[in-house]
Amino acid sequence: QQQVKQSPQSLIVQKGGISIINCAYENTAFDYFPWYQQFPGKGPALLIAIRPDVSEKKEGRFTISFNKSAKQFSLHIMDSQPGDSATYFCAASMVLKNNDMRFGAGTRLTVKP
């Protein structure tokens, strides 16, 4: 049973558009929410992360929005570029249960030129 549910499974966006990927979790003990980006043939790499004490975090074109009451968080990619085409994973971990990070199933993003 997936503890972190991610949608959509795949996403196609035109260059310059906004890409939005959503994640939902059940366990309220989760207190750290990272997003990882993975290019074909490579390992995932940390993109951006948020803790539940803030509702939004922005780094360049990437923004995480966090809704603690709804137990949902999302990744927004503004001005999407073909170079952003990759698979994106949301994840959640618990400070009290060290080393237990749960990943979503992933979203394959394609940005068309």
Partner 1 sequence: DAGITQSPRHKVTETGTPVTLRCHQTENHRYMYWYRQDPGHGLRLIHYSYGVKDTDKGEVSDGYSVSRSKTEDFLLTLESATSSQTSVYFCAISESGLVDTGELFFGEGSRLTVL
Encode 53-65: b = buried (16+ Cβ within 10 Å), e = exposed: eeeebeeeebbbb
Binding flag, residue 75, partner 1 (CB under 8 A): no
Q: Of 108, 104, 102, nearest to 87 (Cα)?
A: 108
**Of the candidate residues 20, 65, 81, 105, the single one contacting partner 1 (CB under 8 A):** 105
Backbone angles phi and psi of 30, in degrees to 5: -60, 135
Residue 45 makes contact with partner 1 by CB under 8 A: yes
Q: Assess 67 for contact with partner 1 (CB under 8 A).
A: no
- Pick the closer one to partner 1 by CB: 2 or 55: 2
Pick 15 or 68: Cβ nearer partner 1: 68
Q: Is 88 in the site for partner 1 (CB under 8 A)?
A: no
